[in-house]
Structures are given as C-alpha cells and as structure tokens.
Amino acid sequence: MQGCPVSLQEQTKPQLNEPPQSFENVNERYRYVRLATEELCRSLSDEDCTPQSMTDASPVKWHMAHTTWFFETFLLRPSVPEYEPFHPKFEYLFNSYYHSVGERHPRPKRGLLTRPSRNEVLEYRAHVDAAMESLLASQANPDIDALTEMGCHHEQQHQELILTDVKHLFWQNPLLPSYSSNGDSTNEIADIDMEWLPNDGGLVSVGHDSDGFAFDNERPCHQVILQPFEFGSRLVTNEEYSDFINDGGYEKSEFWLSEGWDTIQRRGWNAPLYWVRGDEGWSQFTLLGLVPLVGSEPVCHVSYYEADAFARWYGARLPREFEWEAMAEGEPVFGNLLEQQQYRPTSLSQGAPLQSPAQLFGDVWEWTQSPYVAYPGFVPSAGSLGEYNGKFMCNQIVLRGGSCVTPQSHIRSTYRNFFAPDARWQFSGIRLARDCSL
C-alpha cells in the first residue's frame, strides 16, 4: 500500500487532534482545512482513492479534486485575471452539480476516472493553494474572505463525506479493510437511564442571526411557536435498538411510514447498515474494521424510516428541528467530533447535567421529523452558489448536531444537514422527543 508522495510528508502536518478553537483569519482557516483534507487521505492507497461504491458516494480522489475546483471556479477564475487553470478539462470533470457553471461529468461515472492520478490531483491542489495564498495575501477583500470561508466549510463537508464514502467502499470488500487503528478500545458501559427534559415551548427565535459564518439555509432568523414538549436526555443506544429488532420491529407494519415499510421490504433491511449477525451476536463494521456491537454506544447508520419507526415503537417521536434548536440554544459545541479521531460514536460515560441534553454535538447526526424547507424570507446566495442549498429543498429531511466525523469548527446549533429519508451511509442516529403529557 503506497501512501502519499514525499513532498507532502515533509510539510508541517496540522495537528488534527488539537484543533484551533478559532482561526485568526481566513488564511489560517484555509491552510488548516486544506491540510486536514490531505491528512485524512494519507493512509489510503491510490487504489482506495479511485472507485465509487454507489452513485450517492464519490471517490476520495474526486473529493480531493472537487473541493479544489470550488476555489478555482468561484475565486480564482473570477477574481484573478492572470490565473492559469491547471487543466482545461478539470472544470468539467470536477463540477458536482452547478448547472450554471456548465456541463458536468456524469455522477455515476466518477469512479472510472483512473486519470488524473492521485499525484496529479495533489499537484492540482498545490497549484490552486499557491494561487489562493497569493490572492489572500493581497489586500483584504471581504467578498474574497467570505467566499474563501464558504469554500473552507464546503471542504469540511467533503471531509466528512470522504470518511463516510470510504467506509461504504470498504464495506463492499469481503476483506473488510480498516481505515484507522487509532480508536480507543470500546467497552460496554453501564446503562444510563433515558430522562425527559421538559421544554415549555412558546415563541422561540430560530435560525442564524450573528456575524459568524452560516449557510443561506440557516437564514433568516425568525420566530416560531412551539408546543410544550419533552426531549430525550441522550441518544438512543444500540441496545435499545436491538430491543426494537428483537420485538419484531422490522416485521410489524404498524410502526412504519408507508414508504418506509415498502423500502425495508424491497431492500430486505432488518437491521441498521453495517450490522452483521454472527453466531455470537451482532458485530458492526466500522472505520476500525469489524468489531463486536457495543450496546451502550449510540445506534448509527439508520434511515429516517428506521428512526421514525423506532420512535413510534418506543412510544415517543422524533423531535422537530426547532425543538432540537431550542434545546441546543446556548449549549457549547463539544462532543465526539472529527478531531477526537474516534471515527465512531462512543458510549456516554456519565449522565447529562440537569436540564441539559447529552450528545447534542458529535457522535451521530440526529434525524428530526422536519422536511427540509426554506425559512420564511429565504434568499439563496447570489450567483452560482445559489445552487448550494435551495434547489435541494424537496424530499429531504433535516438532521442536526454533527457526527463523529464532523469537524468541530464546522458545526453549530443552527446548522441544518439534510438527507433523503432512505439514506443510511451517513453517521445518522436517533434522538427522541415527546409531547407533554397533560
């Protein structure tokens, strides 16, 4: 298995496990994010970086190139007249879905691009990085800074996808390779009771309203009315989910949305993705290879349909996205995030403090019951970046809170992730809520 070319190895590595609490300026953020991407891919071979395991996933090499294409397309080409594109075809090859930028290589064929090689993609990255350094070093320009910050957040989204897509790729291989051997040992931990944290609801303010970065879909900040509700004090665990399975959860239609029931029949689902039943009980495929299922860890890799059915079986429901946001308001962004390098959700070691839900950030994205729609008064970003979020506001469900592979500097309480209700390859899990009993 050959690794990264020598030149990169000599560079100063960002210390991923000691992430900056904040960045002094956008140049620092740019450098940190760009190196972090390459660091994530270092242990992978050229071959690992090439195939595409399904249409929803992309090759690692493609992620490395596409994030670079973003800076070339939205910053260097429009703002640096003397900029020489690295390769005339890359605009076509590495466009993801921006119709306004031009034609694209067909998504299902990304895994057939054996050329450019990974080394050439690294040269492409270096070429763009050099030009970006010059651009950022020239006189300050708030628009450039804003677009660069956007590009960094875009790349952080792809850092998460690199890991979820590699996991899915390795899962197709009967050798079940592991991405990392970093993770701590994962011991079963004694049960922590689910408690119900009350919230009075009423008029609450939701959405992003500060100066910091946020995507267009988090704006504008506005008021909504919430009915009183109760919020689960922690995430649902593998053990609780096993109880659902053992109780025939996948065989009883009364727990399921109609589309969910059809989906589990058609695809033969009877457990979360990556669960493997063996003679000794369940195992779970992780980025650290195949390991025994740990009951106290948060359940992960469930679809919206499964999360919703579990909640109904439990006698609860999924939270609405604004209920989640109301609970997260003011909570510190802290948890099992990418920089912890666990690459899997981990057990809760102690109960949450009074009134404060545990595991809000990190571990797993939490399915809400809210379809992904525009906030009242939503205005998409200007230009091609208007295609970033708005055009996906259909048949998607909002998830909140980030996962064990989300960079810490990328997540916040107003952040809205979204996936189709049948998506399972993300680190997606279950938070419960319920209406107040009278």
User: Which residues lie near a second copy (CB under 8 A)?
Assistant: 1-2, 45-51, 53, 61, 89, 92-93, 97, 99-100, 105, 109, 111-119, 169-170, 172-175, 177, 203, 222-227, 253-254, 256-261, 304-305, 320, 369-371, 373-374, 376-377, 391-395, 421, 435
Instruction: Give whichever of 53 and 238 is closer to a second copy, judged by the CB atom.
Output: 53
Minimum Å distance from CB 150 to a second copy? 19
Tokens of 21: 């609490």
Instruction: Give whichever of 80 and 373 is closer to a second copy, judged by the CB atom.
Output: 373
Instruction: Give whichever of 342 and 370 is closer to a second copy, judged by the CB atom.
Output: 370
Minimum Å distance from CB 293 to a second copy? 23
State phi, psi for 107 to the nearest 5 degrees: -50, -45
Instruction: Give whichever of 96 and 347 is closer to a second copy, judged by the CB atom.
Output: 96
Cα distance between residue 289 and residue 179, in whole Å = 7
Instruction: Give whichever of 51 and 402 is closer to a second copy, judged by the CB atom.
Output: 51
Q: What is the length of the chain?
A: 438
Instruction: Give whichever of 219 and 412 is closer to a second copy, judged by the CB atom.
Output: 219
Give per-residue burial for 340-371: e unless 16+ CB within 10 Å, then b. Answer: bbbbbbbbbeeebeeeebbbbbbbbbbbbbbe
Minimum Å distance from CB 77 to a second copy? 19
Instruction: Give whichever of 11 and 223 is closer to a second copy, judged by the CB atom.
Output: 223
Minimum Å distance from CB 35 to a second copy? 23
362: left (phi over 0), alpha (psi -120 to 50) or beta: left
326 in Cβ contact with 204 (< 8 Å): yes
Minimum Å distance from CB 255 to a second copy? 10
Minimum Å distance from CB 273 to a second copy? 16
Instruction: Give whichever of 32 and 69 is closer to a second copy, judged by the CB atom.
Output: 69
Cα distance between residue 253 and residue 155, in whole Å = 41
Minimum Å distance from CB 79 to a second copy? 23
Instruction: Give whichever of 89 and 277 is closer to a second copy, judged by the CB atom.
Output: 89
Minimum Å distance from CB 112 to a second copy? 4
Minimum Å distance from CB 254 to a second copy? 6
Minimum Å distance from CB 221 to a second copy? 12
Instruction: Give whichever of 213 and 378 is closer to a second copy, judged by the CB atom.
Output: 378
Minimum Å distance from CB 188 to a second copy? 30
Minimum Å distance from CB 317 to a second copy? 9
Using alpha carbons, select from 407, 415, 312 the residue that is nearest to residue 366: 415
Instruction: Give whichever of 93 and 290 is closer to a second copy, judged by the CB atom.
Output: 93
238 in Cβ contact with 294 (< 8 Å): yes
Instruction: Give whichever of 112 and 140 is closer to a second copy, judged by the CB atom.
Output: 112
